[in-house]
Amino acid sequence: MLLLAATTIFISCGGVKNTIVKTENINYTVEQFADLQILRYRVPGFDDLSLKQKELIYFLTQAALEGRDILFDQNGKYNLTIRRTLEAIYLQYKGDKTDPDYLNLEVYLKRVWFSNGIHHHYGSEKFIPGFTPEFLKHEILNLDAAKLPLFNGQTPVQLCNEIFPIIFDSTIMPKRVNQADGQDLILTSACNYYDGVTQQEAEAFYNSMKDSTNETPVSYGLNSRLVKENGKLVEKVWTVDGLYGEAIQKIVLWLKKAESVAENNAQKEVIAKLIEYYETGDLKTFDEYSILWVKDLDSRIDFVNGFTETYGDPLGMKASWESLVNFKDMEATLRTEIISGNAQWFEDHSPVDKQYKKEKVKGVSAKVITAAILAGDLYPATAIGINLPNSNWIRDHHGSKSVTIGNITDAYNKAAHGNGFNEEFAYSDVEKGLIDKYADLTGNLHTDLHECLGHGSGKLLPGVDPDALKAYGSTIEEARADLFGLYYIADHKLQELGLTPNDDAYKAEYYTYLMNGLMTQLVRIEKGNSVEESHMRNRQLIARWVFQQGMPDKVVELVKKDGKTYVVVNDYQKLRILFGELLAEIQRIKSTGDFEAARSLVEGYAVKVDPVLHAEVLERYKKLNLAPYKGFVNPVYELVTDKDGEITDVKVSYNEGYAEQMLRYSKEYSSLPTINN
């Protein structure tokens, strides 16, 4: 399961803006096109790893990059053909580079790279090209045919006939994943997980495999394409000698090198088991691998490499290929461990009525990791948190690993500095100063308090149904966790624990929380709509409630300056008391299952939007020209060897451009044929 950054779901807006943010001589922003912004992340701490650890990471990053073409093919049958054709034109083009057709082809290719195919990575709808079929045909026919991905004696004209309807006809393959109720989801989805098979046939095929008495079922269909051959359904399994074998062989080659420099035996076993799975395609072996992986908690370096998430299959069975190589961020993990280690103190001192508190509370420690490479379905767009494995019985019997990716969150934060957002929406230099100085730190801390303590605090009274709050349950639960964090982030205890530097830092979190909850999160909502998503509802609930309760004392105000609305916090200490009061009430609602109170809080504060303020916020946001979706270029790793060819170091650098990186990957890590049957 993935945790996505809030920034990935900002509303769409066009335009190009090149704000280059530079810190420590590293550009965090690379470029912007269509609705996408390309960022760069750093890998702090890499240089301090031992040579063996660096080698391990290097081999795992190579194994990660070798899987790229698999995802292109999974996302659509013609994706590799189209990518390779466009890349050939892009590299050989000798015409006018200011020609709008050429510029539009460049944007289209950049989008294909970003989405690992011709459909939007998030919405899954097919892109409409801004160049003409005549232009594309002219360029294809003018190329040296040897540069084109011609298949089985195809001519360039035949290539055009094959791919033009796919590129230009908006009615063909309009969606990568179709979820519309009542249609054949397989026949109407462009993803390449099924061939010549109807939804009914696929469901019958897999239902016949399932046995409801089996308590440890494998993840049926996870690693294969289901096809019809001579009227019979067969699975083409993705293994070293099966479908995608050319790429999987390379992955295995690098995994074997990684195995030879593993940190310890447990990790060695994990890698060996993964290799066995790639060699056999046996899903029982995959489960054994997942169990070994979830139990390996001592290694500093960790990785995901394989067919993992099933969001790309309309039936949610077949997994897209992805990889993430990472190592534990010791300092940030220490922060979550300190918080978890003091969980009982926080529980005992909260403003909640004693009867709703836990006598014995256990904090959850989530590991903070540093990503070293993003690949497959985690590249260039990525999650900021991952929780694996996905198999339910393995999670129940053996647990799961939950990680947040610290350096990716950091890169989002760095790129947000100077993008004009806070300059537009924060009230004065005082608030902007607080945000610049402390908001990154307190934002992370609030997330930690929310995850490690908030969700785990409090208890239900005996006999209370955990689902008593029904549809309001998740908003109330998120509000509870957020309020626990808000209440404690201002506590002197955090300074004692060394987690906050002084008595001012928390104000950055309070201000941004209210600015977001009262105003700026509305940028993600279309005109005329109300607030639906439960995290957004929770934030508005909290912000609106303290705003109204604090009105007599003017604790928080919405003021107008030059015709624009701003949030002003007049009394931070009283604001904290209000957060505490709401926390006590929300915990009472949860503990007693008070449905009516939950409904009146949510309906009264969390759902409705002030249409005038909403329109103003959308208008101001639009002028900032910010791209709603972000992705990353990877760092480049290079082996340093001595005269005997022995590895002496691994160097990491951050200078590669977006197109440069994509073209290099297409050249160096592209072993699959154009059409994979």
By the criterion CB under 5 A, which residues form the site for Zn ion? 481
Q: Give CA–CA dist 68/82, Å, rounded.
A: 15
Report CA dihedral (91, 92, 98, 104) to the nearest 10 degrees.
-60
Q: How far is the CB of 7 from Zn ion (least distance, A)?
A: 18
C-beta of 373 vs 476, nearer to Zn ion: 476
Nearer to Zn ion, 118 or 368 (CB): 368
Handedness of CA 606, 611, 614, 618 (dihedral sign): positive
Give whichever of 173 and 481 is closer to Zn ion, judged by the CB atom.
Answer: 481
Q: Which C-beta is closer to Zn ion: that of 323 or that of 475? A: 475
State how far the Cα of 281 lies from the Cα of 275, in Å rounded to an integer: 10
H or E element at residue 348: helix 343-349
CB 445 within 8 A of CB 438: no
Given a contact cutoff of 8 angstroms between Cβ atoms, the answer to whether 125 and 12 are in contact is no
Q: Decide whether 273 or 446 has the Cβ nearer to Zn ion.
A: 446
Residue 572 CB, nearest approach to Zn ion (Å): 24
Classify residue 338 by burial, with Cβ atoms within 10 Å: 0-12, 13-18, 19+: middle
Q: How far is CA 418 from CA 440, 559, 614, in A?
A: 14, 24, 24
Minimum Å gap between C-beta 368 and Zn ion is 16
Reduced DSSP (H G I as helix, E B as strand, rest coil) percent helix, strand, coil of the chain, to 5? 50, 15, 35
Can you tell me the distance from the alpha carbon of 301 to that of 598, in angstroms, rounded to the nearest whole number?
44
Which residue's CB is nearer to Zn ion, number 109 or number 583?
A: 583
Q: How far is CA 221 from the centre of its chain?
A: 24
CB 402, min distance to Zn ion, A: 12
Burial category of 229 from C-beta neighbours within 10 Å (exposed 0-12, middle 13-18, buried 19 and up): exposed
d(CA 43, CA 340): 26
Is 374 strand, coil or helix?
A: strand
The stretches of 490-610 forming alpha helices (DSSP H) are 492-496, 505-518, 534-549, 572-592, 595-601
Whose tokens are 């929780």? That residue is 387
Beta carbon nearer to Zn ion, 271 or 483: 483
Q: Which is nearer to Zn ion, 335 or 480 (CB)?
A: 480
Nearer to Zn ion, 366 or 481 (CB): 481
Q: What is the closest distance, in whole angstroms, from the C-beta atom of residue 207 to Zn ion in the complex? A: 34
| β-pair partners for 556 | 569
What's the closest the beta carbon of residue 454 comes to Zn ion, in angstroms?
7
* Ordered alpha helix ranges (H), 177-264: 199-207, 245-260
* Nearest residue relative to Zn ion (C-beta): 481
Q: Does residue 379 contact residue 354 with C-beta atoms inside 8 Å? A: no
Q: Of 413 and 474, which CB lies nearer to Zn ion in the complex structure?
A: 474
Tokens of 560: 């107008």
**Least distance from C-beta 482 to Zn ion, angstroms?**
8
| Minimum CB distance to Zn ion, residue 294 (Å) | 22
Q: Report in angstroms how near the CB of residue 478 gets to Zn ion at its nearest.
A: 5
In whole angstroms, the minimum distance from the beta carbon of 606 to Zn ion comes to 15
Shortest separation between residue 485's beta carbon and Zn ion, angstroms: 10
CB atoms within 10 A of CB 242: 17
Alpha-carbon distance of 558 to 613, in angstroms, equals: 11
The residue among 224 and 442 lying less far from Zn ion, judged by its C-beta, is 442
Nearer to Zn ion, 140 or 481 (CB): 481
Least distance between Zn ion and beta carbon 407 (Å):
22
447 vs 666, beta carbon nearer Zn ion: 447
Q: In the bound complex, what is the minimum distance in angstroms from residue 532's beta carbon to Zn ion?
A: 17
Min dist. Cβ of residue 536 to Zn ion (A): 13
Nearer to Zn ion, 34 or 383 (CB): 383
Q: What is the rounded distance in angstroms from the CA atom of residue 381 to the CA atom of residue 477? A: 29
Report the residue number, 190 or 366, with the smaller CB distance to Zn ion: 366
- The least distance separating Zn ion from the CB of residue 336, rounded to whole angstroms, comes to 15
List the beta bridge partners of residue 326: 302, 371
Q: How would DSSP label each residue in 269-311?
A: HHHHHHHHHHHH--HHHHHHHHHHHHH--S-SEEEEEEEEE-T
Angle value at C-alpha 509, between 504 and 510, nearest 5 degrees: 85
Cβ(206)–Cβ(212) below 8 Å: no
Q: What angle do CA 45, 50, 52 make, to 5 degrees?
A: 125
